[in-house]
Structure 1
Amino acid sequence: MVPVPLYQVKAEFFRVLGHPVRIRVLELLCEGPMSVRDLLADVGIEASSLSQQLAVLRRHGIVRAHREGSSVVYELAGPDVLDLMRAARRILTELAVGQRALLDDLREAP
């Protein structure tokens, strides 16, 4: 069996993250564990669609689930996921600041 190159494994990991609903779920879970009911209320999609997206995240080890009574509660699989989400926010903030500076320069140009 030929080993899969690390860059391909990383690409697959980021592909898993490349869905708006999954990102929104991760943002919500950054605040702490949440029940499926609460996630549904905040994400605003059909239960079956949310279930599919949660299954993808769970299958790839990004979130984990446990039962609390009759509810299923999801949480981030570990602190590295939280760090990744924070890093993405920092990177996007820096990009936005750079774009704003460019926009300001363009507005000031003759």
Structure 2
Amino acid sequence: MSVPLYQAKAEFFRMLGHPMRIRVLELLQDGPMPVRNLLAAIEAEPSGLSQQLALLRRSGIVSARREGSTVVYALASGDAAGLLGAARRILTEVLAGRHKLLAELREAEVAAR
């Protein structure tokens, strides 16, 4: 039995729903990175980062390759970077709208005095 597309999309976005996973994807936009560099940039416990990387790898959004004793992670597709860019643009629009509303509320408060 196949999963409806909307359900698969919901599961995909749920997979992205962790700050550490988003940060990993942001870091990997600049290119492949060894685990030790990810650890330094994220300042996470190794076990916590390992869990998040495993989930991202299982989902297929990142890939891993071994270089000697080092594991290097990379985005599996450039589309992941595009998704993060789209999220930034959407958030920018949402926050700009909130700032406009806040300014209007403040103006109304001053006018009511």
Which interval holds the TM-score relative to the shorter structure? over 0.9
1: distance between equivalents of 2:68 and 2:92? 40
2: distance between equivalents of 1:62 and 1:106? 42
Normalised to the residue count of structure 2, the TM-score between the two structures is 0.93
Alignment of 1:97 onto 2:96:
yes
Equivalent in the alignment of 1:13: 12
Gaps of 5+ in 1: none
Aligned alpha-carbon RMSD (Å) = 0.8
Equivalent in the alignment of 1:35: 34
How many residues matched? 109
Equivalent in the alignment of 1:70: 69
Whichever residue aligns with residue 38 of structure 1, its letter is: N
Runs of 4+ in 1 over 6 A off after TM superposition: none
Moved more, 67-76 or 95-104: 67-76
Equivalent in the alignment of 2:78: 79
For the pair shown, which has the larger CA radius of gyration, 1 or 2? 2
Whichever residue aligns with residue 33 of structure 2, its letter is: M
